[in-house]
Structure formats: C-alpha cells, structure tokens
Amino acid sequence: MKSLQEIPWLDQAAANENQGLLHPRRIVPWRLNLYRIPWLRPLIESRWPQFLVRSLTLAGFVFTIATGLSGSIVGSHNFAIIFVWIAWWSALKLVFIPLGGRSWCSICPIPLPGDWLQQGGILSKGRGLGLNLHWPKRLKGSWLQSSAFLLIGLFSALTLTAPRVTGWVFVALFGLAIGLSLVFEKRAFCSYICPIGGFSGIYAQTAPVELRVIDKEICAKHGDKSCYHACPWGLYPVALRDSAACGLCMECLRACPKDNLALNLRPFGTDIGKARTANRLDSVRSLDASFLALVMLGSALAFTAVFVGPWGWLKSAAFAIGSLRWVGYAAAFLGLNLILLPGLFSLAVWSDRQSSKVRLPLKQEIANQSQALLPLGLFAWIAFTVSFALPKLGYVPGVLNDPLGWGWKLLGAGYTFWSPDVSGFSSVLQIILLLIGLFWSANVAWRLADSDYRRAGPIMAFCLAFSLGMLWLLIG
C-alpha cells in the first residue's frame, strides 16, 4: 500500500502519457462494471445506503460489546459469542471474502468513529481532529496484521468461548482504531493492524470483485486526483495492481468527476498467477504478504486441531492460558507458524528455483510463489468454517430469543435450540472444498512456473502436504 508520493512510476506515467506511450482506452475482457448498471448505480453513488448499513453494523458492534460484557457467561447462550464467532465468522468466510474480497471492510463499523473524528463529520467534512502523522515506514506491510492474527491464535480458545473476553477484545480493537486515527493519517488501524483486514486483503486477490480505473490516460490528464484525496485508505486507484489493499468503500467512485472508475465483476483469481519481475515487485507484494499467507495456513491447521479435532487435552491446553500446558501449546503454535511452515515453504521455493532458468533472488521468488498459497488457504478456511460454525448455526435463533442469556423469550416461550445435522455431508463437502483449493493452487503454481513441472513440483508438493494435513484434521 502506497500513498501517492511514494509511487515511483507516477511521474514517469505522466511523462509517458505526454509521449503518447500509454495504451489507448480499451474494453477489458471478462469484466462487468457494476457501477454502470442503472438500478445499482444510485445505491452506490449515494452515501446513504452504505451509511445506513454501517450505522446498523456499528449499533450491532456496540450491542455485541454490551452483551459480551453484561450477558450470560455461557458462550452458547450469549449473543456476542454466537453472533461474532458463528454467524459473522461464517458470513465472512463463506460469503464476504470468497465472493466479495474485502467487501466486509466496506461495511465494517470499527473505523467509523475514527473516520468521523478525522474528517470532522459523518457525511460532510468539517474541521477534523488528529495529528495526521505518516505511518512509520518500518511498520508498513502486513507484518503487524500477521502478528495480530498469531496473537488471536494464542488466545483463541478463550476468546472464542468466553463472552467477557470477546467483549473486552472488541473494546480494545475499537479503542485502538479510534486512538490510531487520532495520531496517524487515514486508516492506519485497518491497513496495518486489523487481522481481519489482513486476511481479507490477501484473499481478496482471488475474489471476483475489483475496483479499478477504467482508463489510465484520463487519470494522467486529470490534475486534481480527487479519488486519491477521497480515499480513506490513502490509496491512488491508478496504482491498484491487485485488490489486496482496497477496502471497497466506493469513495473514489463518488469523487471521480470523469466517471473513470469501475466496480468490476471479474473471473475468480484474476490477481494471482502472474510472476512479478523485480521492478514491479515493490508495488504491493513483498515478503510480508507471503508471511501472512503462511500464517493463515498455519492458523487454519491450528484452529482445526483445537476446535474440530478429537483431542481433549489439546483443547484444555489451549484454554488453560498461562499454565505450563498452554505454554506448550503456544510454543507448538508459534513453531508451526514461524518456523515449520515458512521453513518448508522456503525449501520448496528454493528447490523450485534450482531448476529455473532465470534465477530471481530467493526473497522475490518466495514473494511470487506465495501467490499459490492463496486459493488453498481460502478453501482451507472455508472447510474449517463448514465443520466449526455450520453445526452451531442453530444457536443463532436461540440468542436472538434471549440475547443476554437472562431467560428472555423475545421469539416466543417454547423456543428450543435446534442443531442442523451436517455430519452426513460435511465431510464430503470438506473433501470437495480442499480439492478445489488444491487444484486451484496447483494451477497458480503451474502458471507461475511457466508450465514447467520440475519448477512447479515442489510448491505443488507443499500444497498437497498441507491439504492432506488439513484433511486428516477435519475428517481424520
């Protein structure tokens, strides 16, 4: 993610444009610009529909904190646990990310108060508060997001089951988001800290939605850069090479006076499978994204082992925070994510590089090849969600009936919990999901290796080993 000043080729782009070197405006194949659909356009153009949805998610978020802190301490009967970790999590993993990329970011309530303080108003701009400092260069990239996700993993057994802890974690996230927006410019929390933003971002590259400039020529001629100034994320749409950083807030579409921005439907996985050469690597993808992709794989394994696996001792070790057993769990979890998976993957990339004719630096090869991990990671999380969250969806009406666990009967007196029985088809479904992920990843690896099986082999083997591990944990 770069701010305008940091995009090295930008001046060059204008120069190229002057020399008539840019491609002429053309219709991009396989794209459907949703912003040009007559009935959809007003819904995006007006800030109200999005604002209404966001004000509801904000109220829901605050209600979740309130119920988490004051409601029943029994997780399965508390709105906070069921709505966040079952309903929202399922929606995020099964719908928002695979079909919409960072679409959750477009309605996420967490950055709202910070945005309003920064711009001094909700819909209009006034005198904003805050220091508007630049985010420190050393902390850029997704390293902090990876760390935040690892931190969640360490305490997941408690966070996902204890309503009080969920409540306080949310208070902390909310406070951090507001605090950072008063110190730093734009959405520092979303861009560099939020773990959900982190993994939504990497998997958004596989999703069939993108926000792109239609014609760069028009942008080059347009001196105001209204879109850049409107973007709460500090992005310049012309510079978007993939969808990892764009939060789909639609502000640039609203700001562009030339109607030169498109919200496109596109084929799945458009952003991945293209090897990047040295000078293009700097744009977005670097080792931080590779590390995040590996952390997501490791966490999928760990979460599945703890929450779905048959080992009671593992569950209680993950739960007994601070105890010696938990320290063991934490060491294993961190070892898996910081040493084992990065080590194996680096080894795979290294042996891939050995049989390559053009040898790029190893770091860059790792960054390139890690694209192949994205489809597999996405589908591993979907498969985990199918076995973790779907059987518990039956609790959702229950907590609507009695959100605080105080014996309310909002939906009627005789309401009983039902639990959908997914045991029959879920293992078949999980195999299918993992197979899709594996084949898609193998395909990406194949393309990255220029269809050379000796080169793609090690990465494919890594993906296969991960799939088998995941399959063993899920189905056993």
Residues lying near other proteins in the complex (CB under 8 A): 51-52, 55-56, 58-60, 62-63, 66-67, 70-74, 76-78, 121-124, 404-408
Q: Which is nearer to other proteins, 109 or 298 (CB)?
A: 109
Q: Which helix (H) or strand (E) holds 448?
A: helix 423-448
337, two tokens: 């994510």
Shortest distance, position 46 Cβ to other proteins, whole Å: 10
Compute φ and ψ for 264, nearest 5 degrees.
-100, 140
Q: Which is nearer to other proteins, 30 or 408 (CB)?
A: 408
Shortest distance, position 402 Cβ to other proteins, whole Å: 8
Q: Which is nearer to other proteins, 141 or 163 (CB)?
A: 163
Shortest distance, position 164 Cβ to other proteins, whole Å: 11
Compute φ and ψ for 414, nearest 5 degrees.
-90, 30
DSSP 135: P
Shortest distance, position 420 Cβ to other proteins, whole Å: 19
Q: How far is CA 254 from the centre of its chain?
A: 24
Query: Quick count: other Cβ atoms within 10 Å of Cβ 1?
Result: 22
Q: Which is nearer to other proteins, 142 or 181 (CB)?
A: 181
Compute φ and ψ for 239, nearest 5 degrees.
-85, -5
Shortest distance, position 59 Cβ to other proteins, whole Å: 4
- DSSP for 32-81 reads EEGGGSTTTHHHHHSHHHHHHHHHHHHHHHHHHHHHHHHS-S-GGG-HHH
Q: Which is nearer to other proteins, 121 or 361 (CB)?
A: 121
Shortest distance, position 69 Cβ to other proteins, whole Å: 8
Count helices and strands in the chain by DSSP H and E runs? 24, 3
Q: How far apart are CA 370 and CA 364, in angstroms?
A: 10
Q: Which is nearer to other proteins, 167 or 237 (CB)?
A: 167
Shortest distance, position 124 Cβ to other proteins, whole Å: 5
Q: Which is nearer to other proteins, 333 or 395 (CB)?
A: 395
Classified as helix, coil or strand, 263 is strand
Q: Which is nearer to other proteins, 74 or 265 (CB)?
A: 74
Q: Which helix (H) or strand (E) holds 213?
A: strand 209-213
- Please say whether the beta carbons of 449 and 456 come within 8 A: yes
Shortest distance, position 445 Cβ to other proteins, whole Å: 47
DSSP 139: G
Crossing angle of the two packed helices 453-475 and 341-354, in degrees rounded to 10: 160
